[in-house]
Amino acid sequence: MAALFFGAAAITDLLDGFYARKHKKITSLGKFLDPLADKLLVSVTMIMLITLNRIPAWIVILIIAREMAVTGLRGIAVIEGKVIAAHSLGKYKTIFQAVSLICLCLHYEYLRIDFHVVGMVFLWAALLFTMWSGWVYFKMTKNMLT
């Protein structure tokens, strides 16, 4: 059930963003709330998976720390009158995080697929994209604010 609910939330978030861009319904509130909702959904799911011993806590700490750091950078940039646009690495990060969390919620073997193993492979890729995109955001911010 957790995989179903998480997957449904991830898909509706994707559709919401697609609809907003297509129909030019992008608002300042939406620009603020959408990433916040994404981070909350991913963070809460990861934290719950720690308690089930399905995901290493240190990976969750790194991912949440990166999310908080990038959110802080964006806040500083806004104060300075700058906008840090989303980077394509961040989109890959989100996709790999979502797939990994769906698989880790499933956890068991179905149809001869070990979803825990698949989830961990995607989680490692998500961690790579998470840290890489965080580094890119810091580099972009440094160049913008200096």
Summarised one tens digit per residue, pLDDT across range 37-63 is: 788 889 999 999 999 999 999 999 999
Angle at 135 between CA 65 and CA 32, to 5 degrees: 60
Inter-CA distances, 85 with 48, 74, 95, Å: 30, 9, 18
Per-residue confidence (pLDDT) for residue 79, from 0 to 100:
80
Per-residue confidence (pLDDT) for residue 61, from 0 to 100:
97
Residue pLDDT, tens place only, 6-32: 888 878 877 777 777 777 777 766 666
Number of structural domains, the chain? Answer: 1
Q: What's the DSSP call for residue 81?
A: T
- Written as six digits, the tokens of 37 are 């909702």
Per-residue confidence (pLDDT) for residue 53, from 0 to 100:
94
Question: Where is mean pLDDT largest: 21-25, 75-79, 87-91, 94-98?
Answer: 94-98
Domain that residue 58 falls in = 2-145
Residue 62 burial (CB count, 10 A): 15
